[in-house]
Amino acid sequence: MLILGGAAAITWPGRAQEKPKAPHYALIIGNAAYSDGIGPLENSVSDALLVADAIRNCRFELVTGDVVRDADRSTMLSSLREYVNLMEEAGPDALGFLYYAGHGAAHEDRGNFLIPVQEAAQLDDALWDDSISLESVMDRLVRLDAPSVVAIDACRNVLRLPAAQRALGGGESFRGLRRSAGGAGERNMFLSFATWEGETASDGFADEKNGPYATSLATRLTAPPVTVRDMFEQVRVDVLDRTFQVQEPMNLSRLQRRSIDISIGSEDQVYDPELAWKWHPNLRHALVVSNAYSGMKGHGRPGADADGRTIARALDASGYKTSQVRNAGLSDVSIALKDFSASLDKAGPASVGVLYISGYATMVDGEAYLIPDGWLPETEADVRYGSIPFGDLVSQLEGSAAQGLVVVFDCEPFVLPGKDADSMSAFKRYLGEKKVAVVYGPGASGSQFADAFAKEIRSADRVSIDTVMARVSADIEKRPGAGQAVWFGTPSALPVFFRANADIEPA
């Protein structure tokens, strides 16, 4: 037996020698059994178990042998220390994967914290002393020679705050995790948060065993290998779709160039592009219509075209698939609106849309009309025959599959010959019954509205349309000589968000 065993280990001439597989280590932590003072969670342990099964399928070894469940501070620190030590010993060819599911919060002054399972009658300053600083964890990981993938599935519901707010002087101290984690700006790290900074991630519905982030992550880990960046981008889109855009993961890459193409996935799966990358329609669509009326002597609006370009670029940068129609006649506008609605229908019920129109508008008998390019009406009959009733436009969008739409009219009132100027107040009564928000920024003051709107939707934070409009209104009010009144109305809170694309380029 010894002889045979020795012979089996001999490398025979001509036989290809396989390079030993670089070690892959994973640490999976799931905390759920919090005290009533903090707030127990429903699915974080089952999420950790789901991700653990998936990462094992990717040939990762769990450093603790199993999922670390309902861990106190000492247990969490011990498991983290074991993970870091093994990664350090393994050298630069290793790959690490750290997943945490449980409570987490950002202290206004002290950074991000992962909260161990502990007894607490109320949330007070002692919480931070007994929790694990995420920044300290990142600092240890970035000193390693091997790359690390870190997935933080925290901020899963709102912590029970009343006592903490009284003790600490306000709820701001308990924000969702934020981007300031030290490792995000350091080397050789891929960091994924289950939700955008300052926001709350879903713990899953009551009849589900897993949250949307863990469900998508586990699904992607069992698909054929793709680059880490591609996999987590798929996870981001999956979660957006599952949660109807209420929750958006945030991915930050600082992988060094030598490891930027590291792949992760099931090595038992044969690579198939259709399996490796499930196609998703873009969930965010925008249409920009900008009419300059260049052929209308004395009535041209050259600034309208420039405003349209400004808005289109800003929407593109905010993740919207944007089409722009310039100097559009009645037929052109109708076709563009039809295509816009079709794109939303194709994207499905999780989609949202933004329609921006810059040009002229007028009113006849209390009805608002949008005036296409190429002509200007002289009578009320001209308006009814050759313009687009605002109510019809809203009804068309209301009938699309999108869950929410924002219609932005940066339109200058057009006064018919012999008529008095109208305030265009009719725009205010055209709210969709369920899902259409209306913004009216009269264009008589040039590009004030377009500039302010474009600036705010390029926010580094993920901001809602409500927040954008509050900031736009405040911005315009502060401008010298501002004479442009902005009106915004919505039937309910709509999940229409904007943000500048996160920087995920290698350091």
**Distance separating alpha carbons of residues 151 and 275, to the nearest angstrom:** 22
Using the structure block, give the residue that is written with the tokens 């933004």.
Answer: 354
301 C-beta neighbours (distance < 10 Å), count: 22
Please determine, for residue 182, whether its predicted confidence score (pLDDT) is greater than 60: no
- Please report the DSSP string for 255-294 in residue order: --GGGTT-EES-TTSPP-HHHHS-----SEEEEEEE---T
- Exposure pattern of 66-99 as b/e (b: 16+ CB <10 Å)? ebbbbbebebbeebbeebbebbeebeeebbbbbb
In the prediction, which pLDDT does 477 show? 79
For residue 169, give every residue at least 6 positions away whose Cβ sits within 8 Å of its Cβ, in sequence order, or none: none
- As a whole-number percent, the residues of the chain with pLDDT over 90 amount to 35
For residue 85, give every residue at least 6 positions away whose Cβ sits within 8 Å of its Cβ, in sequence order, or none: none
Structure tokens at 72: 């106190």
What average pLDDT is seen over the chain?
Answer: 80
**Distance separating alpha carbons of residues 226 and 267, to the nearest angstrom:** 10
**Distance separating alpha carbons of residues 203 and 190, to the nearest angstrom:** 23
In the prediction, which pLDDT does 250 show? 87
Please determine, for residue 218, whether its predicted confidence score (pLDDT) is greater than 60: yes
pLDDT range class, residue 487, cuts 50, 70, 90? confident
State in Å, rounded, how far the first CA of the chain is from the last one. 54
The answer to whether the beta carbons of residues 359 and 377 sit under 8 Å apart is no
What three-state secondary structure class fits 220?
A: helix
- Which pLDDT tens digit goes with each residue over 411-468? 888 888 777 666 555 666 665 667 888 887 765 455 788 999 999 999 888 888 989 9
- Please report the DSSP string for 351-364 in residue order: -EEEEEEEEEEEEE
When the candidates are 3.40.30.10, 3.40.640.10, 3.40.50.1460, 1.10.30.50, the CATH number that belongs to 22-276 is 3.40.50.1460
Q: Which regions of the chain carry the CATH code 3.40.50.1460?
A: 22-276, 284-498
Structure tokens at 192: 């994924």
CATH number of 284-498: 3.40.50.1460
In the prediction, which pLDDT does 406 show? 92
What three-state secondary structure class fits 239?
A: helix
In the prediction, which pLDDT does 426 show? 60
303 C-beta neighbours (distance < 10 Å), count: 18
In the prediction, which pLDDT does 97 show? 97
Minimal CA–CA distance to 125: which of 155, 160, 152, 165? 165
Using the structure block, give the residue that is written with the tokens 């050298």.
Answer: 91
- Which pLDDT tens digit goes with each residue over 493-505? 788 899 876 544 4
Work out the average pLDDT over 179-185.
45
In the prediction, which pLDDT does 10 show? 35
**Distance separating alpha carbons of residues 358 and 166, to the nearest angstrom:** 49
Across 99-103, 113-117, 301-305, least confident range: 301-305
Task: Pick 98 or 483 by higher pLDDT.
Answer: 98
Structure tokens at 247: 């929750």
Q: Hey, CA dihedral for 255, 261, 264, 265, is it positive or negative?
A: positive
- Which pLDDT tens digit goes with each residue over 143-168? 898 999 999 998 765 444 433 333 33
Task: Pick 29 or 404 by higher pLDDT.
Answer: 29
Q: How many CA atoms lie within 13 A of 169 on its CB side?
A: 2
In the prediction, which pLDDT does 197 show? 75
CA distances (Å), 71 to each of 23, 33, 45, 102, 157, in order? Answer: 26, 9, 11, 10, 19
What three-state secondary structure class fits 4?
A: helix
